[in-house]
Amino acid sequence: MLADVSHIVATTLNTNALLQDVAESIRHHFGYRTVGLFTLDNAGQTLALRGYSSTSSGPPKLPTPEVCRQPIGQDAFINPAVHCGTQRRLCDATSEDSYLSANQSAAHTEVCVPILDIGRLIGVIEVEGDPQVDFDPGALSLLETIADIVSIGLRSVRLHEKSQRRSQELALLSRVSGGFEAGLNLDTLIDSTLDGLHELVNADRTYFITVDPDNRTWQRTHIHVAPGYELGSEEAGTFDDMPVELERLMTGKPFAVFDTTFDLRIDKTREMYQSHGTQSVLLVPVQFGKRLHGAIGCDYCREKHAWSPEEIRLLEGTAHQLELALDNLHLFEEVRLRADELATTLARLEELDRLKDEFIQNVSHELRSPLAIIQGYVEMLESGGLGELRPEQQKPVSIIARRVRMLGDLVKDVTLILEAEVSPPEPESVALGELIHTAVEDFQLAVQQAELTLRVEITPELPPVSISYTYMRRVLDNLLGNAIKFTPTGGTITVQAKEKGNQIVLKVSDTGRGIPSDQLERIFERFYQVDGSIWRRYGGMGLGLALVKEIVEAYGGQVTVESRLGLGSTFSILLPIATDTSLGDEPH
Ligand code: ADP
């Protein structure tokens, strides 16, 4: 029999199955009339019949603790065993007054053997025999040994259940944090959290309330209810009736009530709990920042429930995960708002940019024709085509001519840069050497006037580059113009062009004032000038280098600059060699 019970204990990891099998084994081996195995549940408040075996057709074969549960004290015979713990009773039940008064028709012998776990009562084996059955010391000692084995079995079941519960708790916590990461919104997250808690805590109601501590109001936003424990439509209330609960939650601590009928702290709330049928309640705060945001609540209605430290810890852990989710959600919301703001600003900037381009385009268009006419007449004037100029007229006219040319270049730059952005002309084969010579010739006068030296070093038989001729001319004009503008009297400007792999390198160097290193990147931005204040010494619009860079890159080239303050600058341009060697139309 011991071997049989030991086997059951070693192989069963479920309390009910274990106690049922042991009850049957005892009855089978001893031949008693009935054998019942009880456990002490609910913090020692009730006895639950979990294993039952009988020769007669009596109570259910496989009792469930819910069905066969009785508060301590109801069974007069078991009582002393329960209350005294270690006491074992052997008696002829028919001679027990208290027993007889409780069981009218008793005509049998009965023995109760406590199941102890390190001296603590955790259950009882109750055996009934026919009147003639004699519980001799041998049988009693065997029952005691069985009680000890059952105790060991219950402990390992408990350990197993505990570790299973732990893993379920962990699964719930990771579901909460994982749920948020997976992008669930807060409502869905709270719902799924309550779902998991409901299962683990086995409460009749699990819910979430939001709390407004300033106005002392609360609102139940989510609830999971076991059938039969639904609440009325009351979904909100004030804390005037629940001052203790609010005070407790505000300190960040859980509020646990075992018995709503007697707990002195809830005098004001008692009526509400009673009307809801709530026997035990647990509330755990959820904070946002350092402020109370809400609470997770569990109600037990079918019976009183002693909240275990594990359950409280689980609710606190879950609340903490929700707090993190709330924090993250808030951050997300902030980031989203910021992104929306930025998107709006960007759209506005793009619109402004478009308007500016449009404006510039219109202005340059309106300037182009009158300028061309002025330029034509001025050149005629200058060349004497409209009659010989008097000596005192020559200088002013040539100043007018130069300024008109500058204005014309400026308008050309503006037009080109806008055009280059939208649809640059098809590339052609451009003989760079010749283009450089033409440009240098045009700048000769300016170079002389600025008292500079201009050197040109071009490798003979330089292959043509692939670019638009007009655009390339503007690139050179701008680089040369800048070099002249920013180089003081006596300086030297060098233009070099040579082959490098399948590219041509064009360099325009000067011995001018140089560019501060922290501005080297920025000078290629549209309208950027190193000295862009209204007191700047040099003219220009800050468009030239932007045009250079945009044009060169549009044709697959690259622009770089090296510069040392006070010593000079070198602009280098890499351009692809034209594969089609037929030269484009020239000159433009
Ligand atoms: P702009 O010459 O019309 O001002 P650019 O786009 O051609 O506009 O040049 C931008 C700025 O870069 C200039 O204002 C000037 O400060 C600086 N820069 C350009 N080329 C040189 C150079 N060769 N030496 C010194 N500074 C230069």
Smallest Cα–Cα separation from 494: which of 509, 480, 505? 509
**Segment 522-533, tens digit of pLDDT:** 999 888 888 766
Pocket residue to mutate for ligand 1, from 417, 474, 484, 486, most atoms within 8 A of Cβ? 486
Cβ of 547 below 6 Å from ligand 1: no
Q: Does the pLDDT at position 160 exceed 70? A: yes
Joined tokens for residue 518: 């922290």
Q: Work out whether the CA dihedral 62, 68, 72, 78 comes out positive or negative.
A: negative
Bigger pLDDT: 434 vs 131: 434
How far, in Å, from the CA of 427 to the mean position of ligand 1? 27
How far apart are the CA of 549 and the centre of ligand 1, in A? Answer: 13
Q: What pLDDT is attached to residue 72?
A: 64
Kindly give the distance from the C-alpha atom of residue 540 to the centroid of ligand 1, in angstroms, as a whole number.
8
Please give the distance, rounded to the nearest whole angstrom, from the Cα atom of residue 573 to the centre of ligand 1: 16
User: What pLDDT score was predicted for residue 45?
Assistant: 73
Query: Cα of 585 to ligand 1 centre, how many Å?
Result: 31
Return the ligand 1 atom nearest residue 508 CA: 23
587 or 566, greater pLDDT: 566
Q: Looking at ligand 1, which residue's alpha carbon is closest to its atom 8? A: 542
Domains contained in the chain, CATH given: 2-162 (3.30.450.40), 183-307 (3.30.450.40), 330-423 (1.10.287.130), 425-576 (3.30.565.10)
Per-residue DSSP letters for 383-437?
TTTTSPPPHHHHHHHHHHHHHHHHHHHHHHHHHHHHHHHH-PPPPEEE-HHHHHH
- Regarding the beta carbon of 484 and ligand 1, being less than 6 Å apart is answered no
Q: Calculate how far, in angstroms, residue 574's C-alpha sits from the geometric centre of ligand 1.
A: 19
Indicate which atom in ligand 1 lies nearest the CA of residue 540: 3
Cα of 482 to ligand 1 centre, how many Å? 6
| 72-76, 357-361, 392-396, range with the lowest pLDDT | 72-76
Distance 511 CA to ligand 1 centre (A): 14
Rounded Cα gap, residues 114 and 151, in angstroms: 10
**103 or 458: which leads in pLDDT:** 458
pLDDT digits (tens, 9 = 90+) for 193-219: 898 888 888 899 999 999 998 888 999
The pLDDT of residue 87 is above 50: no
Q: Name the helix (H) or strand (E) containing 381.
A: helix 309-382
Cβ of 540 closer than 6 Å to ligand 1, yes or no, is: yes
Express each pLDDT in 230-272 by its tens digit.
886 567 888 887 888 888 888 999 999 999 999 988 888 898 8
The reported pTM is 0.50
Q: Which atom of ligand 1 is nearest to the CA of 571?
A: 23
Q: Chain-wide mean pLDDT for the chain? A: 84
> Is 282's pLDDT higher than 60?
yes
Q: Strand pairing of 492-500 and 465-467?
A: unpaired
Is pLDDT of 585 > 50?
no
d(CA 553, CA 424): 11
Between residues 451 and 191, the one the model is more confident about: 451
**Residues 546-566: what's their mean pLDDT?**
93
pLDDT attached to residue 203 = 93
pLDDT number for residue 116: 86
* pLDDT mean over 437-444: 92
Q: Is the CB of 542 under 6 A from ligand 1?
A: yes
488 to 65, 161, 443, 491, 563: CA distances (angstroms) = 103, 91, 16, 6, 16
Q: Please tell me the distance between residue 530's alpha carbon and the centre of ligand 1 in angstroms.
A: 7
Mutate which of 414, 454, 482 for ligand 1? The one with the most ligand atoms within 8 Å of its CB, which is 482
Mean pLDDT of 75-99: 52
482 CB near ligand 1 (under 6 Å): yes
Whether ligand 1 lies within 6 angstroms of the CB of 569 is answered as: yes
- From ligand 1's centre to the CA of 561, what distance in Å? 11
523 alpha carbon to ligand 1 midpoint, in Å? 7
Q: Which residue type, as a one-letter code, is found at position 420?
A: A
Whether residue 513 has its Cβ less than 6 Å from ligand 1: yes
Ligand 1 center–CA 403 separation, angstroms: 19
Residue whose tokens read 């308007």 = 355
The span from the CA of 146 to the CA of 405, in Å, is: 115
Residue minimizing CA distance to atom 20 of ligand 1 = 482
Give yes or no for residue 486 CB within 6 A of ligand 1.
Answer: yes
Quote the pLDDT of residue 515.
94
DSSP per-residue string spanning 205-254: EEEEEEEETTTTEEEEEEEEE-TT----S--EEEGGG-HHHHHHHHTT--
Contact 417, 546 (CB under 8 A): yes
- Nearest Cα residue to atom 19 of ligand 1: 482
pLDDT at 586: 44
* Average of per-residue pLDDT across 437-456: 93
> Which of 545, 549, 571 to mutate for ligand 1's pocket (most ligand atoms within 8 Å of CB)?
545
Q: Is the CB of 414 under 6 A from ligand 1?
A: no
Q: Is any ligand 1 atom within 6 A of the Cβ of residue 545?
A: yes
What confidence score (pLDDT) does residue 103 get? 52
User: Looking at ligand 1, which atom is closest to the CA of residue 529?
Assistant: 14
pLDDT of residue 584: 47
Rg of the Cα trace of the chain? Answer: 49
Residue 75 Cα to chain centre, angstroms = 58
How far, in Å, CA of 149 to CA of 154, rounded?
A: 9
Strands annotated E in 26-119 = 34-41, 46-54, 69-71, 89-92, 109-117
* Residue having the nearest C-alpha atom to atom 25 of ligand 1: 514
